[in-house]
Amino acid sequence: MRHDRQLTAAELDSFGAELDALRQRTLDDLGEPDARYIRRIRAAVRLCCWSGRALLLLGWFPPTWLLGVALLGLGKILENMELGHNVMHGQYDWMNDPELRGTRYEWDIAGPADFWRHTHNHIHHSYTNVLGKDDDVGYGLVRLFPEQRWKPFYRWQPLWVTLQALLFQYSVAVQHLRLDQYVKGRMSRAELRPLLRQFNAKLLRQSVKDYLAFPLLALLLGTSAAAVLVGNLLANLIRNLWTFTVIFCGHFTERAAVFPPSVLEGESRGHWYLRQLRGSSNLTGGPLLHILTGNLSHQIEHHLFPDLPARRYAELAVEVREIAARYGQVYNSGRLSRQFGTVLRRIWKYRLA
Amino acid sequence: MYLVPLSLARRLGPALKPLRALVAGGWLQEADTDCLLRLVHPALRLKRVFARVESRVWVADDMLALGLRTNGNAHGWRPGQHVRLYRELDGVRHGRSYSLTKAEPDGRIELAVRRQPGGRFSNGLLERLEVGSLVELDPAQGELTWPHEAGSVLLLAAGSGITPLLGLLRHALAQGFAAPVTLLHYVRQRRQRAFGEELQGLMARYPNFQVRWAISGEAPAAGELAGRFQAAHLAGRPVHSLLACGPHGFVASVDDWWRAEPRAGGLQVEAFTPPAPSVGGGEQVRLRFARSHRELPGNSAVNLLEQAEAHGLRPPHGCRQGICTACTCQLLAGGVRDLRTGGLTHGPGLPIRLCVSAPLGDVELDL
C-alpha cells in the first residue's frame, strides 16, 4: 500500500515548478553526446538484426542458429524499446534529423506506428492509470485493481494474460482498432474500415518479411527455410515476453496507484506530475537492464518527462527521488523479480471479485 | 577510400529504382537502406541529396563560392533557385538557404556563401568546410526565371542578392540571350563586389551586357553609383523586365518604384530575409501544446516556433522563414495569422508552419 502525503494546492504548484525546472535544465544541456548515443543504439540495432538474420541463413547448426536467434531477438528488443519507443515520443526531435523524427518513425513490430502514437503517446500518457480512460490498465483483458468492476470473464485472466504475453506485439497493434466499441455498435463499419486497412497492410509487411521473404532466401541459398522461420518466430517471441514484462512492471506493481476519472477535472500541472509519479513504478538494476528496457526501468522519470532523451532518466532519477521524498511521496522502485512478482500476484488476486 | 568514386555512384541512380519502390511500399526502411548505400559511397542515398565539396574560391573579401557535386538525386535544379544546406552543430542539424549560382546537368553546382557578422552557420562553412567534405541539401526551390522574351533586362542586386541573379545571368548569356542586360549591384564597401572580375569579363565578352556598382559605405570612384537604391540610378536605362534580389527593405523599395507608374514588362523579386515582425507587443493569449500537456501564456505578435522553443519544446524546424515545411504542425483549435501574408487559418486539423504563424487568440497545437 502507498502512504503518500496529501499536498495542498500551493505545495502542488511548487512541486510542479521544481519538476519543470529540472526538465528545463536537462533540455538546455542536450547536445552532441545525446545525438551520438541514439545513433550508436541504432547502429547496435542494425548490427544485431543483420548479423542475427545472416546467422539464421546458415541453417540448423546449433551454435550459429542459437546465436542468430539471440542476436535477432536482442536487436528487436533494442529497436522496440530504446530506439522506436523513445524516438516516437519525440525525444530526439531536437536533433532535427529526418531519420529520428518522432512523427515519422516506423518501427519493426506488427502495429502501425501511427496507431501507437495515438494509443500510447496521447491516450496512455495523458490519462495514465485513470480507470475508464487509460486502456493500458489491463488492456480490457485483465483486472489488476480492486477499483475495476469485476466480470466473470476475469476468472480466467491468468490464461488471458499468458496469451497476451506471448502475442504482445499483436495485442498492442489491435488496441487502436477499439474492436470492443465496434462489437457494441458504438463504432460504424465505415469508421473501422480505414483503420483496418492500415492495420492489415502493416501486419502483412511484417509477416512477409519474417515468415516468407527470409525463409525463401534460405531456400534460394540452399539452406533450411524452416530454421529461418522458427528462428524468426522465436526472436519475436523473446521480444514479446520481454516487452510484456517491462510494460506490466511499469504501472501494475503492488504500490502503483489508479485514479477515478474525476481526478482529471481542472487538473493542475503539479497534480498531473503527481499522478504520473504515483501511477508509475521503477526497476532497479545495472546499465544493461536500463538499455534493454529502453530506460523504461525509469518509468517514473519517463512519465514525468516523456519527451526527454531516455538516457537522461538515470541522472534525473536522483533528483526526482529526492523531490518525491521532500513532498512525502512514495517512490515506487524495486528489483525486476520483486516488481514482476507483485504484478503476477495482482493478476492472480483480482481474478476474483 | 570509397568502394566507388562519386561519378560512378551518380550512375547508380536508375539501378536504385527497385529499392525506392520497396521503400515507398513500406517493405524496406529508407534509413536502413541508406545506411547500406553509404558503404558503397558516403554520398549515396535513395532519395536524400548529398553533395561533396569540390572547390572553394573567394569571390569577394566576404564571399566564398563553393563548388559541389551532388549524388544524382538533385533533379531539375536551375540556376537562380535556392537550396538549403545542412550541417550538424552540437548534435543539432541546422540548415540555411543559399542561391545556386550554377547548376550543371552533370550534377556540379555552385553556391556562394557570405560572411555574416556573428553568424555561426555561414562563418562555420567559410572557415571549416573543406574540399572533400559531405553536406546534405534539400531539393532546390524558387521561382525566379530569366525573361527570355524581354526587350531588355535590368537586374538589381543588393549584397548577397547578387547570387541568384548571377546564376540566371551566366546561364542566359551562355544560351545566347542578345537583348540589352544591365546589372546594378549595391554593396557597402568596394571590396564586397562579389564575382567582380568575372562580371567584368562577361561585359568584355558580351556587348549587350553592362554591369555597374553602387557603393553606399565609401566615397564612390569614377563610374560608380553612390548610395542605396534610388530612382535616379535608373534614369535613361531601358527597363522592360526587372529582376531584383536583396534584403526585404531593398526589395520593397524596388517594388514601390516599379509600381509607381504603369509598365509593360514583368517584375520578379526575391527577398532573402523575412519581413520584420509586426511592431507592438501583441496581445496575451493561451497556448496549449497537446502532446506535451502544457498550457502556457503566449503572445499574438510572435511566431509559434519561437514561443514553443521559449517554453522548452523542440519542434522540428528548417529554414525558419516559411519555406521548407519542416516545422509544419497540426492546429487543433483556434486560429493563426501568417506573418508573411497576413492570411488567416482556423483549425482544427489544418497544417500550419510554426515559424511564420502567430496565434490570433488562444490556440491548441499538436506538439
pLDDT, average across residues A168-182: 90
Q: Is residue B355 predicted with pLDDT exceeding 60?
A: yes
**Mean pLDDT over each residue of chain B, to the nearest integer:** 90
Chain A: residues touching B (Cβ < 8 Å) = 23-24, 27, 30-36, 42, 46, 90, 93-99, 101, 106, 121-122, 125-126, 201-202, 205, 208-209, 269, 272, 307
Put simply, the answer to whether A31 touches B90 (Cβ < 8 Å) is yes
Number of Cβ within a 10 Å radius of residue B30: 20
Distance, CA of B330 to CA of B348 (rounded, Å): 8
Task: Render pLDDT for B138-191 as a digit per residue (tens, 0 to 9).
Answer: 899 888 999 999 899 999 999 999 999 999 999 999 999 999 999 999 999 999
More confident residue, B246 or B280: B246
Non-local CB neighbours of B21 within 8 Å, separated by 6+ positions? none
Q: Domains in chain B, start-ordered, CATH in brackets?
A: 1-47 (no CATH), 49-142 (2.40.30.10), 153-271 (3.40.50.80), 284-365 (3.10.20.30)
Residue A345 lies in a domain: yes
Q: Which residue has the cell 542476436?
A: A71
Choose among A99, A205, A307: nearest Cβ to B292. Answer: A307
Non-local CB neighbours of A337 within 8 Å, separated by 6+ positions? none
What's the predicted TM-score (pTM) here? 0.88
Instruction: With cut-offs at 50, 70 and 90, classify the pLDDT of residue B281.
Output: low
Residue A189 lies in a domain: yes
Residue A185 lies in a domain: yes
Q: Is residue B48 predicted with pLDDT exceeding 60?
A: yes
Size of interface A-B (CB pairs under 8 A): 61
Q: Which residue has the cell 512477409?
A: A208
Residue A34 with chain B: CB contacts under 8 Å = 91
Distance, CA of A51 to CA of A74 (rounded, Å): 11
Residue A2 lies in a domain: no
What is the reported pLDDT for B236?
Answer: 82
What is the reported pLDDT for B329?
Answer: 87
**CA within 13 Å, CB half, A284:** 8
- The number of folded domains in chain A is 1
Task: Render pLDDT for A102-114 as a digit per residue (tens, 0 to 9).
Answer: 888 999 999 999 8
Q: What percent of chain A has pLDDT over 90?
A: 82
Q: Which ipTM value was assigned to this complex? A: 0.90
CA B5 remoteness from chain centre: 29
Q: Which of A203, A271, A229 is nearest to A72 (CA)?
A: A229
Task: Render pLDDT for A231-266 as a digit per residue (tens, 0 to 9).
Answer: 999 999 999 999 999 999 999 999 999 999 999 898
Residue A132 lies in a domain: yes
Residue A3 lies in a domain: no
pLDDT, average across residues B278-305: 82
Task: Render pLDDT for A44-63 as a digit per residue (tens, 0 to 9).
Answer: 999 999 999 999 999 999 99
**Domain residue limits at A162:** 9-349
Q: Which of A194, A246, A239 is nearest to A69 (CA)?
A: A239
Task: Render pLDDT for A12-52 as a digit per residue (tens, 0 to 9).
Answer: 999 999 998 998 899 889 999 999 999 999 999 999 999 99
Tally of residues, chain A: 353
Question: Beta partners for B345?
Answer: B336
Edge-to-edge order in the sheet of strand B357-359: B344-346, B335-338, B357-359
Task: Render pLDDT for B311-349 as a digit per residue (tens, 0 to 9).
Answer: 888 887 776 776 666 788 888 888 898 887 777 877 676
Residue A1 lies in a domain: no
Do residues B210 and B182 make contact, with C-beta atoms less than 8 angstroms apart?
A: yes
**Mean pLDDT over each residue of chain A, to the nearest integer:** 94
CA angle at B277 for the pair B356 and B267, rounded to the nearest 5°: 75
Non-local CB neighbours of B49 within 8 Å, separated by 6+ positions? B70, B71, B73, B74, B83, B136, B137, B138, B139
More confident residue, B236 or A51: A51
Q: A184: which 3 cell numbers?
A: 457494441
Non-local CB neighbours of B157 within 8 Å, separated by 6+ positions? B165, B166, B183, B184, B185, B186, B244, B245, B246
Q: Which of B299, B302, B60, B232 is nearest to B159 (CA)?
A: B60
Amino acid at B94: H
Element holding B10 (H helix, E strand): helix B6-10
Q: Is residue B279 predicted with pLDDT exceeding 50?
A: no
Residue A4 lies in a domain: no
Q: What is the Rg, in whole angstroms, of the alpha carbon atoms belonging to chain B?
A: 23
Q: Determine which of B28, B39, B92 to mutate to test the interface with A (most A C-beta atoms within 10 Å).
A: B92
